[in-house]
Structure 1
Amino acid sequence: MTSEDESRGSGGGGRRESAEERADRRWGDLLQELRVAQTGVQILFGFLLTVVFQQRFTTLDGTNRHIYIVTVLLGAATTGALVGPVSMHRLLTGRRLKPETVVLASRLTVLGLFLLLCTMASSLLLVLRIAMRDNGAAWLVGALVVWFALCWFALPLWARHRANRDDR
Protein backbone atom coordinates (compact mmCIF):
# COMPACT_ATOMS: atom_id res chain seq x y z
CA MET A 1 0.00 0.00 0.00
CA THR A 2 1.38 3.44 -0.88
CA SER A 3 1.42 6.40 1.47
CA GLU A 4 -1.36 7.91 -0.62
CA ASP A 5 -3.49 4.78 -0.09
CA GLU A 6 -2.77 4.96 3.65
CA SER A 7 -3.96 8.57 3.77
CA ARG A 8 -7.26 7.45 2.26
CA GLY A 9 -7.76 4.71 4.84
CA SER A 10 -8.07 1.76 2.50
CA GLY A 11 -6.94 1.09 -1.03
CA GLY A 12 -8.65 2.55 -4.06
CA GLY A 13 -10.67 5.74 -4.39
CA GLY A 14 -12.63 7.08 -1.49
CA ARG A 15 -12.26 9.32 1.51
CA ARG A 16 -8.96 10.90 2.35
CA GLU A 17 -8.67 10.04 6.02
CA SER A 18 -6.04 8.76 8.38
CA ALA A 19 -6.37 5.39 10.08
CA GLU A 20 -7.51 7.21 13.24
CA GLU A 21 -10.09 9.28 11.34
CA ARG A 22 -11.35 6.13 9.66
CA ALA A 23 -11.60 4.35 13.01
CA ASP A 24 -13.52 7.31 14.48
CA ARG A 25 -15.95 7.30 11.55
CA ARG A 26 -16.41 3.54 11.67
CA TRP A 27 -16.96 3.69 15.44
CA GLY A 28 -19.66 6.35 14.99
CA ASP A 29 -21.35 4.23 12.33
CA LEU A 30 -21.19 1.16 14.56
CA LEU A 31 -22.73 3.04 17.49
CA GLN A 32 -25.67 4.09 15.32
CA GLU A 33 -26.21 0.47 14.25
CA LEU A 34 -25.95 -0.75 17.83
CA ARG A 35 -28.55 1.77 19.02
CA VAL A 36 -31.10 0.26 16.65
CA ALA A 37 -30.26 -3.36 17.46
CA GLN A 38 -29.96 -2.83 21.22
CA THR A 39 -33.37 -1.18 21.51
CA GLY A 40 -35.11 -4.08 19.79
CA VAL A 41 -33.20 -6.70 21.77
CA GLN A 42 -33.88 -4.99 25.08
CA ILE A 43 -37.61 -4.79 24.38
CA LEU A 44 -37.75 -8.42 23.26
CA PHE A 45 -35.69 -9.60 26.24
CA GLY A 46 -37.86 -7.58 28.63
CA PHE A 47 -41.00 -9.25 27.31
CA LEU A 48 -39.36 -12.67 27.52
CA LEU A 49 -38.52 -12.11 31.17
CA THR A 50 -42.17 -11.37 32.00
CA VAL A 51 -43.59 -14.51 30.37
CA VAL A 52 -42.66 -16.76 33.27
CA PHE A 53 -44.84 -14.64 35.60
CA GLN A 54 -47.99 -15.02 33.50
CA GLN A 55 -50.69 -17.43 34.71
CA ARG A 56 -50.75 -19.31 31.43
CA PHE A 57 -47.03 -20.16 31.73
CA THR A 58 -47.89 -22.99 34.13
CA THR A 59 -49.94 -24.66 31.40
CA LEU A 60 -46.98 -24.99 29.00
CA ASP A 61 -45.87 -28.53 28.27
CA GLY A 62 -42.27 -29.62 28.74
CA THR A 63 -41.19 -28.94 25.16
CA ASN A 64 -42.55 -25.40 25.17
CA ARG A 65 -40.93 -24.72 28.56
CA HIS A 66 -37.60 -25.89 27.15
CA ILE A 67 -38.05 -23.65 24.11
CA TYR A 68 -38.81 -20.77 26.48
CA ILE A 69 -35.66 -21.41 28.54
CA VAL A 70 -33.51 -21.58 25.40
CA THR A 71 -35.13 -18.37 24.15
CA VAL A 72 -34.40 -16.50 27.38
CA LEU A 73 -30.79 -17.71 27.36
CA LEU A 74 -30.40 -16.67 23.72
CA GLY A 75 -31.91 -13.26 24.54
CA ALA A 76 -29.41 -12.81 27.38
CA ALA A 77 -26.51 -13.85 25.15
CA THR A 78 -27.71 -11.47 22.43
CA THR A 79 -27.92 -8.61 24.91
CA GLY A 80 -24.40 -9.38 26.10
CA ALA A 81 -22.98 -9.43 22.59
CA LEU A 82 -24.68 -6.18 21.55
CA VAL A 83 -23.81 -4.29 24.74
CA GLY A 84 -20.26 -5.67 24.71
CA PRO A 85 -18.90 -3.10 22.23
CA VAL A 86 -19.95 -0.27 24.55
CA SER A 87 -18.10 -1.83 27.48
CA MET A 88 -15.12 -2.56 25.25
CA HIS A 89 -14.98 1.05 24.12
CA ARG A 90 -15.27 2.36 27.66
CA LEU A 91 -12.51 0.10 29.00
CA LEU A 92 -10.17 0.76 26.07
CA THR A 93 -10.73 4.51 25.63
CA GLY A 94 -7.49 6.46 25.83
CA ARG A 95 -5.32 3.41 25.18
CA ARG A 96 -4.74 4.30 21.51
CA LEU A 97 -6.50 1.13 20.41
CA LYS A 98 -9.38 2.64 18.45
CA PRO A 99 -8.76 0.74 15.18
CA GLU A 100 -8.47 -2.57 17.06
CA THR A 101 -11.50 -1.73 19.19
CA VAL A 102 -13.58 -1.04 16.09
CA VAL A 103 -12.62 -4.38 14.54
CA LEU A 104 -13.39 -6.35 17.72
CA ALA A 105 -16.62 -4.46 18.36
CA SER A 106 -17.70 -5.03 14.77
CA ARG A 107 -17.14 -8.77 15.13
CA LEU A 108 -19.05 -8.81 18.41
CA THR A 109 -21.91 -6.96 16.71
CA VAL A 110 -22.09 -9.53 13.91
CA LEU A 111 -22.15 -12.27 16.56
CA GLY A 112 -24.93 -10.34 18.29
CA LEU A 113 -26.92 -10.20 15.06
CA PHE A 114 -26.52 -13.96 14.61
CA LEU A 115 -27.68 -14.50 18.20
CA LEU A 116 -30.59 -12.15 17.54
CA LEU A 117 -31.55 -14.33 14.58
CA CYS A 118 -31.51 -17.36 16.89
CA THR A 119 -33.51 -15.50 19.57
CA MET A 120 -36.11 -14.42 17.03
CA ALA A 121 -36.40 -17.95 15.66
CA SER A 122 -36.79 -19.43 19.12
CA SER A 123 -39.33 -16.78 20.16
CA LEU A 124 -41.34 -17.33 17.00
CA LEU A 125 -41.23 -21.07 17.45
CA LEU A 126 -42.64 -20.81 20.96
CA VAL A 127 -45.39 -18.36 20.02
CA LEU A 128 -46.39 -20.15 16.81
CA ARG A 129 -46.38 -23.60 18.48
CA ILE A 130 -48.89 -22.27 21.00
CA ALA A 131 -50.95 -20.21 18.54
CA MET A 132 -51.10 -22.92 15.87
CA ARG A 133 -51.11 -25.90 18.22
CA ASP A 134 -47.81 -26.95 16.57
CA ASN A 135 -49.34 -27.34 13.08
CA GLY A 136 -46.65 -26.13 10.72
CA ALA A 137 -44.99 -23.76 13.20
CA ALA A 138 -41.51 -25.15 12.52
CA TRP A 139 -41.94 -24.68 8.76
CA LEU A 140 -43.02 -21.06 9.18
CA VAL A 141 -40.14 -20.36 11.53
CA GLY A 142 -37.72 -22.00 9.08
CA ALA A 143 -39.01 -19.77 6.30
CA LEU A 144 -38.60 -16.68 8.48
CA VAL A 145 -35.07 -17.71 9.48
CA VAL A 146 -34.19 -17.94 5.80
CA TRP A 147 -35.74 -14.49 5.27
CA PHE A 148 -33.80 -12.94 8.19
CA ALA A 149 -30.58 -14.62 7.00
CA LEU A 150 -31.11 -13.22 3.50
CA CYS A 151 -31.84 -9.69 4.75
CA TRP A 152 -29.22 -9.53 7.50
CA PHE A 153 -26.35 -11.57 6.09
CA ALA A 154 -26.67 -12.85 2.52
CA LEU A 155 -27.65 -9.54 0.87
CA PRO A 156 -24.91 -7.47 2.57
CA LEU A 157 -22.30 -10.15 1.88
CA TRP A 158 -23.41 -10.37 -1.76
CA ALA A 159 -23.16 -6.57 -2.08
CA ARG A 160 -19.68 -6.62 -0.51
CA HIS A 161 -18.57 -9.42 -2.83
CA ARG A 162 -19.94 -7.58 -5.85
CA ALA A 163 -18.20 -4.35 -4.84
CA ASN A 164 -14.91 -6.20 -4.33
CA ARG A 165 -15.28 -7.84 -7.75
CA ASP A 166 -15.99 -4.48 -9.39
CA ASP A 167 -12.88 -2.96 -7.74
CA ARG A 168 -10.56 -5.43 -9.51
Structure 2
Amino acid sequence: MSTTERGRHETPTERWDRNWVDIQQELRIVQTGTQILAGFLLTLPFQQRFSTLTGRQETVYLVLVVLAVVVTVVALSAVATHRLVFRQRQKHDLVRAGNVILLAALIASALLFSGTVYFVFDVVIGGAGGIVGGVAVFVGTAALWTALPFGLRRTARDVDEAHERATDGGSDGA
Protein backbone atom coordinates (compact mmCIF):
# COMPACT_ATOMS: atom_id res chain seq x y z
CA MET A 1 0.00 0.00 0.00
CA SER A 2 1.43 3.36 -0.94
CA THR A 3 1.93 6.22 1.47
CA THR A 4 -0.70 8.29 -0.34
CA GLU A 5 -3.27 5.51 0.07
CA ARG A 6 -2.74 5.63 3.85
CA GLY A 7 -3.74 9.28 3.91
CA ARG A 8 -0.34 10.98 3.83
CA HIS A 9 -0.05 13.20 0.79
CA GLU A 10 3.63 13.91 0.27
CA THR A 11 6.11 13.77 -2.53
CA PRO A 12 9.00 11.31 -2.38
CA THR A 13 11.28 14.24 -1.49
CA GLU A 14 8.99 15.29 1.36
CA ARG A 15 8.93 11.69 2.62
CA TRP A 16 12.75 11.50 2.57
CA ASP A 17 12.91 14.83 4.43
CA ARG A 18 10.42 13.61 7.05
CA ASN A 19 12.30 10.33 7.46
CA TRP A 20 15.60 12.18 7.90
CA VAL A 21 14.07 14.43 10.58
CA ASP A 22 12.81 11.29 12.38
CA ILE A 23 16.28 9.72 12.27
CA GLN A 24 17.87 12.93 13.56
CA GLN A 25 15.49 13.04 16.53
CA GLU A 26 16.12 9.38 17.36
CA LEU A 27 19.88 9.92 17.16
CA ARG A 28 19.58 12.89 19.54
CA ILE A 29 17.87 10.67 22.10
CA VAL A 30 20.52 7.93 21.77
CA GLN A 31 23.34 10.43 21.96
CA THR A 32 21.98 12.29 24.99
CA GLY A 33 21.59 9.08 27.00
CA THR A 34 25.01 7.87 25.95
CA GLN A 35 26.67 11.16 26.82
CA ILE A 36 25.16 11.10 30.31
CA LEU A 37 26.31 7.53 30.82
CA ALA A 38 29.78 8.31 29.42
CA GLY A 39 30.05 11.25 31.80
CA PHE A 40 29.21 8.97 34.70
CA LEU A 41 31.80 6.43 33.59
CA LEU A 42 34.48 9.08 33.18
CA THR A 43 34.03 10.27 36.77
CA LEU A 44 34.60 6.83 38.29
CA PRO A 45 38.43 6.80 38.30
CA PHE A 46 38.31 9.87 40.53
CA GLN A 47 36.35 8.07 43.23
CA GLN A 48 38.18 6.57 46.21
CA ARG A 49 36.68 3.10 45.75
CA PHE A 50 37.96 2.86 42.15
CA SER A 51 41.39 1.79 43.43
CA THR A 52 39.81 -1.36 44.92
CA LEU A 53 38.68 -2.74 41.54
CA THR A 54 40.03 -6.07 40.42
CA GLY A 55 41.93 -6.38 37.16
CA ARG A 56 38.83 -7.87 35.50
CA GLN A 57 36.66 -5.00 36.74
CA GLU A 58 39.15 -2.46 35.42
CA THR A 59 39.09 -4.21 32.04
CA VAL A 60 35.27 -4.17 31.99
CA TYR A 61 35.34 -0.50 32.91
CA LEU A 62 37.72 0.35 30.07
CA VAL A 63 35.64 -1.65 27.59
CA LEU A 64 32.58 0.33 28.70
CA VAL A 65 34.39 3.65 28.21
CA VAL A 66 35.41 2.59 24.71
CA LEU A 67 31.88 1.38 23.98
CA ALA A 68 30.46 4.75 25.10
CA VAL A 69 32.87 6.46 22.73
CA VAL A 70 31.91 4.05 19.93
CA VAL A 71 28.21 4.81 20.38
CA THR A 72 28.93 8.54 20.29
CA VAL A 73 31.15 8.28 17.21
CA VAL A 74 28.68 6.04 15.38
CA ALA A 75 25.80 8.41 16.14
CA LEU A 76 27.88 11.40 15.06
CA SER A 77 28.77 9.66 11.80
CA ALA A 78 25.24 10.47 10.61
CA VAL A 79 26.01 14.16 11.17
CA ALA A 80 29.33 13.87 9.34
CA THR A 81 27.66 12.02 6.47
CA HIS A 82 24.99 14.69 6.23
CA ARG A 83 27.62 17.43 6.10
CA LEU A 84 29.53 15.66 3.34
CA VAL A 85 26.49 15.00 1.14
CA PHE A 86 24.72 18.28 1.94
CA ARG A 87 23.12 19.77 -1.18
CA GLN A 88 24.13 16.79 -3.30
CA ARG A 89 20.50 15.64 -3.76
CA GLN A 90 21.24 12.40 -1.92
CA LYS A 91 18.66 12.57 0.86
CA HIS A 92 17.42 9.08 0.00
CA ASP A 93 20.97 7.70 0.41
CA LEU A 94 21.37 9.69 3.62
CA VAL A 95 18.14 8.24 5.07
CA ARG A 96 19.22 4.70 4.19
CA ALA A 97 22.67 5.22 5.73
CA GLY A 98 21.14 7.00 8.73
CA ASN A 99 18.90 4.01 9.36
CA VAL A 100 21.90 1.66 9.42
CA ILE A 101 23.85 4.08 11.61
CA LEU A 102 20.96 4.36 14.05
CA LEU A 103 20.54 0.59 14.26
CA ALA A 104 24.28 0.18 14.92
CA ALA A 105 24.11 2.87 17.62
CA LEU A 106 21.14 1.11 19.24
CA ILE A 107 22.91 -2.26 19.29
CA ALA A 108 26.04 -0.71 20.79
CA SER A 109 23.85 1.17 23.30
CA ALA A 110 22.18 -2.06 24.41
CA LEU A 111 25.62 -3.55 25.03
CA LEU A 112 26.72 -0.39 26.85
CA PHE A 113 23.65 -0.31 29.10
CA SER A 114 23.80 -3.98 30.03
CA GLY A 115 27.57 -3.80 30.48
CA THR A 116 27.24 -0.82 32.78
CA VAL A 117 24.65 -2.61 34.92
CA TYR A 118 26.91 -5.67 34.96
CA PHE A 119 29.86 -3.53 36.09
CA VAL A 120 27.98 -1.66 38.82
CA PHE A 121 26.32 -4.80 40.19
CA ASP A 122 29.62 -6.66 40.06
CA VAL A 123 31.37 -3.95 42.07
CA VAL A 124 28.53 -3.53 44.57
CA ILE A 125 27.28 -7.09 45.19
CA GLY A 126 29.68 -9.38 43.39
CA GLY A 127 30.16 -11.36 40.20
CA ALA A 128 26.94 -13.38 40.24
CA GLY A 129 24.88 -10.23 40.83
CA GLY A 130 26.67 -8.52 37.99
CA ILE A 131 25.91 -11.34 35.60
CA VAL A 132 22.25 -11.48 36.61
CA GLY A 133 21.84 -7.70 36.38
CA GLY A 134 23.66 -7.38 33.06
CA VAL A 135 21.83 -10.28 31.45
CA ALA A 136 18.47 -9.02 32.75
CA VAL A 137 19.04 -5.58 31.22
CA PHE A 138 20.27 -7.07 27.93
CA VAL A 139 17.33 -9.47 27.64
CA GLY A 140 14.85 -6.78 28.66
CA THR A 141 16.30 -4.33 26.17
CA ALA A 142 16.33 -6.94 23.41
CA ALA A 143 12.71 -7.83 24.14
CA LEU A 144 11.52 -4.22 24.17
CA TRP A 145 13.58 -3.20 21.17
CA THR A 146 12.65 -6.21 19.00
CA ALA A 147 9.42 -7.84 20.19
CA LEU A 148 7.49 -4.58 20.48
CA PRO A 149 8.45 -3.29 17.01
CA PHE A 150 7.83 -6.67 15.40
CA GLY A 151 4.44 -6.82 17.12
CA LEU A 152 3.60 -3.39 15.78
CA ARG A 153 4.73 -4.37 12.29
CA ARG A 154 2.35 -7.29 12.38
CA THR A 155 -0.42 -4.93 13.51
CA ALA A 156 0.34 -2.52 10.68
CA ARG A 157 0.24 -5.38 8.18
CA ASP A 158 -3.12 -6.50 9.60
CA VAL A 159 -4.44 -2.94 9.26
CA ASP A 160 -3.23 -2.81 5.65
CA GLU A 161 -4.98 -6.10 4.87
CA ALA A 162 -8.19 -4.90 6.52
CA HIS A 163 -7.98 -1.63 4.55
CA GLU A 164 -7.50 -3.54 1.31
CA ARG A 165 -10.51 -5.76 2.04
CA ALA A 166 -12.60 -2.69 2.86
CA THR A 167 -11.61 -0.85 -0.32
CA ASP A 168 -12.24 -3.98 -2.42
CA GLY A 169 -15.81 -4.08 -1.11
CA GLY A 170 -15.09 -7.11 1.07
CA SER A 171 -15.59 -7.52 4.78
CA ASP A 172 -12.78 -7.58 7.27
CA GLY A 173 -14.67 -10.06 9.46
CA ALA A 174 -15.28 -7.63 12.29
Q: Shorter-chain TM-score category?
A: 0.7 to 0.9
Aligned to 2:117: 124
SS of residue paired to 1:52: helix
Counterpart Cα distance in 2 of 1:130 and 1:136: 9
**Displacement of 1:166 after TM fit?**
4.2
How many aligned residue pairs are there? Answer: 161
- Of 92, 100, 124, the residue aligned with 2:93 is 100
Cα drift, residue 165 of structure 1: 4.7
In structure 2, C-alpha distance between the alignment counterparts of 1:63 and 1:115, rounded to whole Å:
21
Tell me whether 1:137 sits opposite 2:117 in the alignment: no
Contact 2:31–2:71 (Cα < 8 Å) also in 1: no
**Which residue of structure 2 lines up, in the alignment, with residue 70 of structure 1?**
63
Q: Using the TM superposition, give the Cα deviation of residue 100 of structure 1 relative to its aligned residue in structure 2, in angstroms.
A: 1.0
Moved over 3 A (4+): none
Q: Deviations over 1:3-34 (max 9, x none)?
A: xx58x3xxx52312111100111111112212
Q: CA RMSD in A?
A: 1.8
Structure 2 gaps of 5+ residues are 162-174
Residue 32 (str. 1) matches residue 25 (str. 2): yes
Output the amino acid matched with 2:27: L
Query: Residues 41 and 78 of structure 1 are in contact (CA less than 8 Å); yes or no, is this contact kept in structure 2?
Result: yes
Structure 2 length as normaliser, TM-score? 0.84
CA deviations on 1:113-161 (whole Å, 9 max, x unpaired) are 1100000111111100011122432122212211111122221122123
Matched, 1:91 2:88: no
The higher radius of gyration belongs to 2
8 Å contact kept, 1:23–1:102:
yes
Pairing partner for 1:45 from 26, 38, 41: 38
Give 1:54 shift: 2.8
Corresponding residue number in structure 2 for 1:21 = 14
| Helix, strand or coil at the partner of 2:46 | coil
**Structure-2 separation of matches of 1:55 and 1:126:** 17
**Residue identity (%):** 36
